[in-house]
Amino acid sequence: MIFVLTTAPHRYTHETVEAEASVDVRVLGYPEVIQSKHMPTATYIFTDVDRLAPATLIHIAEIYRRLRDGGGKVLNDPARMLSRFGLLRALHRAGINDFDAYRVEDLEEPRRWPVFLRVEGDHMPPLSGLLHDWAELDAAINRSVADGSPRPALLIVEYSAEPAVPGLFRKLSAFRVGDRLLGYTCVHDDQWLVKYGKPAIATPELYEDEYRFVAECPFAETLMNVFDIAGVEYGRVDYGLVAGRPQIYEINSNPDLKLRPEPGPVARRNESNALFAANYLDALKAIDTPPNAEVLAQAADG
């Protein structure tokens, strides 16, 4: 049995995994976990910690330790996982990322342009387009604060991307599930901000390349190092290639999984999706804990 623990509004991310008959996965919101007196012996995956308020995060980190010390298998220590800013700064200092990030509150001017503005702990698109100088950045910050984005949560991120082919950008991804690293399908778009992508927009060569990424998971050593730096044992890393080198954009510990999407018009993409699903389920089985009647130490106080 595997429990995926998440914030209550984001339980939907693993619905297709819960529906999979080959592995017993159940999603629990953190309010349920906090209120539980006892938890069954199982594998517990802590996700979404970047969305938790500090007081809740402390409580969840304590629950992680109770489950671990009671004999449970636990992934993603909430006390160790880096924030988006912390990860980007650490990867730049480690020489993995060429670009850097800054907190607006620090009043530190970027060392390279252009940049864009985004919110810490938010997985929505950035608040701005590309900004090319301090005047544009300052105006974007003032607009965002006026619209209700808290200044302490605002991040400045240096731009680092290049098209895979002329006019077409690509976001690459890989999953970590315990000790396994799995290549994932790509997202293609005709603009620099590649989030949801556009269907069937890539060339046949890029879809063939995508299958290779799923089958072989290139850059595995670098990507596993990134997960280790982030303190993440389960999640999805998103990255791009610039001059042939991975540039890491984020790690999402609670990615929205469409495990068996409806077949699309590109046959090779359908094969890539099927291959990832098989690899992912095998990886889940490797971290699964067989059900039994034992219960772990109390998850809640009292």
Return the domain boundaries, the chain: 2-75, 100-158, 169-287
Looking at the DSSP bridge assignments, the partners of residue 165 are: 168
Integer Cα distance of 117 and 13 in angstroms: 26
Of 22, 24, 23, 84, which is closest to residue 48 (Cα–Cα)? Answer: 84
Using a 10 angstrom Cβ sphere, with 0-12 exposed, 13-18 middle and 19 or more buried, the burial of residue 3 is: buried
Give me the sheet containing 115-119, strands edge to edge: 101-103, 154-158, 115-119
Dmax over Cα atoms in the chain, in whole Å? Answer: 63
Integer Cα distance of 250 and 85 in angstroms: 9
Helices (H), the chain: 15-18, 30-35, 54-69, 84-93, 134-146, 204-216, 220-230, 267-287
Q: Which two tokens stand for residue 287?
A: 């971290």
Express the helix, strand and coil content of the chain in percent, nearest 5 each. 35, 25, 40
Integer Cα distance of 41 and 72 in angstroms: 6
8-state DSSP, 220: H
Yes or no: is domain 169-287 CATH 2.60.40? no
127-181 confidence digits (pLDDT tens): 999 999 999 999 999 999 999 999 999 999 999 999 999 999 999 999 999 999 9
CB 288, CB 2: distance < 8 Å: yes
| Per-residue pLDDT tens listing for the chain (302 residues) | 999 999 999 999 999 999 997 899 999 999 999 998 888 889 999 999 999 999 999 999 999 999 999 888 999 999 999 999 999 999 999 999 999 999 999 989 999 999 999 998 877 889 999 999 999 999 999 999 999 999 999 999 999 999 999 999 999 999 999 999 999 999 999 988 888 788 888 999 999 999 999 999 999 999 999 999 999 999 999 999 999 999 999 999 999 998 888 898 899 999 999 999 999 999 999 999 987 756 665 554 54
**Beta pairing, strands 115-119 & 154-158:** antiparallel
Spell out the SS3 assignment of 36-64: CCCCECCEEEECCHHHCCHHHHHHHHHHH
Considering the four listed CATH numbers 3.30.1490, 3.30.310, 1.10.357, 3.30.450, the one that applies to the domain covering 100-158 is 3.30.1490
Q: Is residue 131 classed as helix, strand or coil in its secondary structure?
A: strand
Q: Which two tokens stand for residue 95?
A: 């020489």
What topology does CATH give the domain 2-75? Rossmann fold (3.40.50)
